[in-house]
Structure 1
Amino acid sequence: MTRPQSRLATLGVAAGALLVLLGSTIYQVDQRQQALVVRFGDPIRVVRAPGLHLKAPFLDRVIKFDNRNIALNADQEEVIAADQERLVVDAFVRYRITDPRQFYKTLRDETVAHDRLERIVNASLRQTIGRANSEEVIAGKRALVMAAIRDEVGRQVRASNLGVQIIDVRIKRADLPEANQKAVFERMQTARQQEAAQTRAIGEQQKREIVATATEEAEKIRGEGDAKRAELFASSFGRDPSFAAFYRSMQAYEASLGQGDTTLVLSPDSAFFKYFQKGPQG
């Protein structure tokens, strides 16, 4: 090999070595990532700023973690509610790695993290749903149940010091096993019908009580009016006996002739028609 060729080969080797050195020294962090610098298996530095960074060549290793919310779909779980009904529940979790150093120490990577979090979620599902009725989980109070599960998962994650924050836990689906659905829905329907019948019965009872009270009040008012009228008539009759006779005759005329189709056979000088012949004072 000639001297120029040897020099070129040396330069090529040097350039290659320089590239390897730079590649082992410089690393890039994306804005969607955060990095952990590890030396001989021990985490020494967390890097969250995006851009180019330096590390000790051949000594340091860079592990990158997602800086965004991470979704985890938990496996379908069969749990028993407080009313002893079996429920098939699908849930999903959203979490974020807040402490890469602690995350690496306890979980190492997202695969292990998903397995650990899924076990925590399933345990929280069994514990929380075990305190609620199946109807509450399926429809009535699902939001409250999900909030309770989220709080329980967050508490266990904080207690385990995993370096993650639970953003949300939601139940995607909570149904009865197919073998139980018909019987349970029929029981729920019967319960609703019983509640409706009870509500109607209460309404009817209240209606009868209101009508009875109103009738009693009306009879009382009518009685007071009749008593007052009788009192006024008695007072008037006592002051003027002729008026009393005239009033009674008018009542008799109304009773006998008020229908318009009554036939009476009386003597012309009958006392019945005296007020047709004379005035009230005659």
Structure 2
Amino acid sequence: MTDRRLFAGAALAIGALILLSQTVYQLDQRQQALIVRFGDPIREVESPGLHLKTPFVENVVRFDNRSIALNVDQEEIMASNAQRLVVDAFVRYRVTDPRQFYRTLRDERTAADRLTRLVNSSLRQELGRASSEEIVSGGRAALTKRTRDDMVRRAATSNLGVQVIDVRIKRADLPEANQQAVFERMRTARQREAAELRAKGEQQRLEIIATGTEEAEKIRGQADAQRAQLFAESFGRDPGFAAFYRSMSAYEKALGQGDTTLVLSPDSAFFKYFEKGPAG
């Protein structure tokens, strides 16, 4: 009799524990839950702590309420100039509607597969509009923003119950076989631009020199004209001084360097002012 009572007590205790485990469940602050009855979601639970459910009839499906990171597998994408690119990206999303998420995706594994297909479609669309040079060398921030905006729109219209928080392009490179050819084209293009800039600069230099020379000649001509006018006025006032000045200029040109030898008669008119001075 005692053994039967012990066995019955143990059975009741085990039954109570099973009933309790099927009735009470706990959520921590990182989780949200969906109560499912016979496969049909009936209510959402967001507050952490202990909660009750109908035993054996209702099941608890837990979801992470934090942002979830999804690394997207490498995808080969064709740029607008028919160059292939190998692209790596990652997505951050959050479950915002557990009921809709459960109906369309069920779990994170299915969500990862669906979101990967969506982001690859967005990448093919947005990067396919740009050339490989734009994607590799610059403009990636704008491309990333357009991809993120498109991905947010796709996720919203697909009614997945998630919010796409961010999309980032981690790497967008040419396949190894194509990299050298593209880099050579880019280098040739930069060299051509440099040559054009040098040619333009040389043309501007010549134009500046020509303009400066023309202005200098014009100023020199004006100065010579003023000089000639001044000399003419001076010579008209004092013919003797004019003759003296011309002789002094001739002496300077003929003897100023110190390496000129002249063989002349002592009474030559050339030495007239050596003997008599300006009065001669």
- Using the size of structure 2 for normalisation, the TM-score is 0.91
Pick aligned residue for 2:110 from 109, 112, 115: 112
1:66 paired residue number: 64
Question: CA-to-partner distance for each residue in 1:223-280, whole Å, 9 max, x for gaps?
Answer: 2222222222222222222222121111101111011121222333332222223342
Q: For 1:161 and 1:235, how far apart are their aligned partners in 2? A: 102
1:236 paired residue number: 234
1:257 aligns with 2:228: no
Q: For 1:235 and 1:106, how far apart are their aligned partners in 2? A: 108
Pick aligned residue for 2:128 from 127, 130, 135: 130
Pick aligned residue for 2:272 from 268, 271, 274: 274
Alignment of 1:123-272 (within 5 A): 123-272=121-270
Shift in CA distance, 14/216, structure 1 to aligned 2, threshold 3 Å: same
Question: CA-to-partner distance for each residue in 1:3-49, whole Å, 9 max, x for gaps?
Answer: x4444333323322222222112111122222122223332332222
Question: CA-to-partner distance for each residue in 1:41-100, whole Å, 9 max, x for gaps?
Answer: 332332222222222222321111112221222222222111111222222212121222
2:36 paired residue number: 38
Shift in CA distance, 228/45, structure 1 to aligned 2, threshold 3 Å: farther
2:82 aligned counterpart, secondary structure = coil
Alignment of 1:87-98 (within 5 A): 87-98=85-96
1:48 paired residue number: 46
2:97 paired residue number: 99
2:261 aligned counterpart, secondary structure = coil
Question: CA-to-partner distance for each residue in 1:128-161, whole Å, 9 max, x for gaps?
Answer: 1110001111222222222221111111111212
Identity of aligned residues (%): 69
Amino acid at match of 2:135: V
- Using the size of structure 1 for normalisation, the TM-score is 0.91
Amino acid at match of 1:216: E
Q: CA RMSD in A?
A: 1.9
2:77 paired residue number: 79
| Number of residue pairs matched by the alignment | 280
Unaligned runs of 5+ in 1: none
2:73 aligned counterpart, secondary structure = coil
Unaligned runs of 5+ in 2: none
Q: For 2:190 and 2:255, how far apart are their aligned partners in 1? A: 62
1:68 aligned counterpart, secondary structure = coil
2:193 aligned counterpart, secondary structure = helix
Moved more, 98-107 or 270-279: 270-279
Amino acid at match of 1:270: S
1:74 aligned counterpart, secondary structure = strand
1:278 aligned counterpart, secondary structure = helix
2:14 paired residue number: 16
Amino acid at match of 2:168: R
Q: For 2:101 and 2:237, how far apart are their aligned partners in 1? A: 110
Amino acid at match of 2:138: G
1:135 aligned counterpart, secondary structure = helix
